[in-house]
Amino acid sequence: MAPAAPVPGTGSGPGPNPDPDPDAGSGPVRDPLPDPLRDPWRDAMRLALDEADAAGPAGDVPVGAVVLGPDGKVLARAHNEREAAGDPTAHAEVLALRRAAAATGEWRLTGCTLVVTLEPCVMCAGALVQSRVERVVFGALDEKAGAAGSLWDLVRDRRLNHRPEVIHGVLGEECARQLTAFFRDR
């Protein structure tokens, strides 16, 4: 049979060929491979990145955190307010956990997930264990002070009776870039 006329519905008349170019994947920009472990947390990490932006005006290191309920809905969001509040404990994670607990009326955040742009420090890792969150998701590693795998692994210490699941590297490069830009521009 001779080739048929153009198949209807594949384009809107004359113009660029809508068919994908078989060579399109050979350029410098490629879609990353699907990552079933990290991809589900990308949207929440974008919220955390937006939240981190709000820390800048007060001179706070841009770290943002979001707490998701068991159903995936956003319960709370917070950014680092150490400078803004003059409070050494006002890290994004601690503030987000407090706000999530206030929103639910319950200190136990069973089934919840905390998503944060930077690996938690020792204080925040402790607060995460205390809050009984089910999962901690973070973006950039903090090799100088991280307590979720880098320098310590407090959240997964076998001596503790509650150990949240840890997923790292969600939008990790973006999270690291945001921090690098802050320190470069100071």
Residues 24-83 that bind Zn ion (CB under 5 A): none
Buried b (16+ CB within 10 A) or exposed e, 125-162: bbbbbebebebbbbbbbbeeebbbbebeebbbeeeeee
CA 181 vs CA 3, 62, 134, 174, 176: distances in Å: 56, 10, 32, 11, 9
Between 35 and 157, whose beta carbon lies closer to Zn ion? 157
Does 155 sit near Zn ion (CB under 5 A)?
no
121 annotated ligand binder: yes
Query: Is 51 in the active site?
Result: no
Does 114 sit near Zn ion (CB under 5 A)?
no
- The closest of 112, 115, 62 to 91, measured between CA atoms, is 62
Using CB under 5 A, count the residues that bind Zn ion.
4
Between 40 and 122, whose beta carbon lies closer to Zn ion? 122
Between 44 and 93, whose beta carbon lies closer to Zn ion? 93
Between 123 and 167, whose beta carbon lies closer to Zn ion? 123
Does 124 sit near Zn ion (CB under 5 A)?
yes
Beta carbon of residue 41, minimum distance to Zn ion (angstroms, whole number): 19
Does 147 sit near Zn ion (CB under 5 A)?
no
On the CB side of 7, CA atoms within 13 Å amount to: 6
Options 51, 81, 83, 93, the catalytic residue: 93
When binding is defined by CB under 5 A, the residue of 68, 121, 140, 154 that contacts Zn ion is: 121
Tell me the chain's radius of gyration from C-alpha atoms: 21
Q: Which residues are catalytic?
A: 93
Residues binding Zn ion (CB under 5 A): 91, 121, 123-124
